[in-house]
Structure 1
Amino acid sequence: MTRALKTVRPATVRAWVDGWVVSRNAPTPVREPWGLRVDVGLPGHVVRHVVPAPTPATLRHLTALPSAPGTWLKLCAPYEEVAPWLPRPWDVQEPEFMMTASLDPAPRTRGLTGATAAARAGVVAPDGYTLAVTTRAGVTVARLLTAAGEMAARGQMAIAGTTAVVDQVETAPHHRRRGLGTIVMGALTATAAAGGATDGVLVATPAGRSLYETLGWAVHTPMTAAVLTS
């Protein structure tokens, strides 16, 4: 269980976790010998263990701990490398991918915020939609709204140091294949660059990976998520 781990940078994983907890209003991560623990405290998501370099010994330890249903493992390795060490009732989820990108320094947007930064970077809503970008408590949210005020697409971002952590990007089913995800990503990264971020990190589903690769993001490591169901 070493092939996928050679390029995993612990600092990248830490930045992702630091930004994720801001984005989700979760408690500060706790360092553990195996990585980071976040005591999320939500039904179905009680705690998550983020493991940058999973080994059989680490997984045997984590899966043997007294744990409540809703305990999650986020493992920086592909499924085939960790599956043998995830006994029932750990339920493995669909594949995920930690992805990174360098952000355009965009000096013309430096110090600007929200939709102003996005517009200066050339990010505009398509006909029939309005782009709204707001920041509160360190979390920037970009929304594309229809004329009736319906949420067509959205995403959010928090900055950890100089890293923008993109989170919860989604497009409503009947608004897909119109380039709205690209607009949301452009608004978020323009705002991040204006705020001084130099790089970005996110965790994508297989469908999201396809979008992000067209925007210049690259896979940093495959990820496997598993949750204790009972």
Structure 2
Amino acid sequence: MNLFEPEINHSKNWLPYDGTVNYYGYILNKKAADNYLNHLLEDIEWRNDEAIIFGKRIITKRKVAWYGEKTFSYTYSNTTKHALPWTKSLLDLKTLIEQKTGETFNSCLLNLYHDGSEGMAWHSDGEKDLKKNGAIASLSFGAERKFAFKHKDTKKKIELILEHGSLLIMKDDTQTHWLHRLPPTKLIKTPRVNLTFRTIVENLK
């Protein structure tokens, strides 16, 4: 972190009610974040994401990858993925995040957005494979992008800018009561890689 930038209060809850979101800001300096971004772009086994919507198979431009400590399966959008073994970079980042937050994680879902035209629609991470009310650590690399929350009942919205090398934590009742999304934008021409470290309940196949 730049010594001349004010330190972010990571204990602040960005949600007014029904959940907890903490934003840590940069947890890596620019050089380290650049290095990790390059490793992730080159070393991860990226695949176009798939979803079954109203019985129709949809292939996204956005690419994804799923890694974990075991061959966990994870089902969302009516498709199932099986975790690949950790890479060294992912293990190093997992250790760093666990030290920063005091949480533990056993898997990571990665998303590659090639430019601002690719985003994510409103959703919550409430799949049965995930630990109920468990923490999800969102680590961002590359282009700075807006990230938004919307309460399922009151429709109240909260927005943040997720920076290169920054960490955001969602936990407690957040997934039960709030949706989140990454809105598309025509202004961003460079890629963003997002890592969401999670805890999968035992469901080995």
Confirm or deny a common fold (TM above 0.5). no
Q: Which has the higher strand share?
A: 2
Larger Rg: 1
More helix by share: 1
> What TM-score range do you get, normalising by the shorter chain?
under 0.3
TM-score with structure 2 length normalisation?
0.27
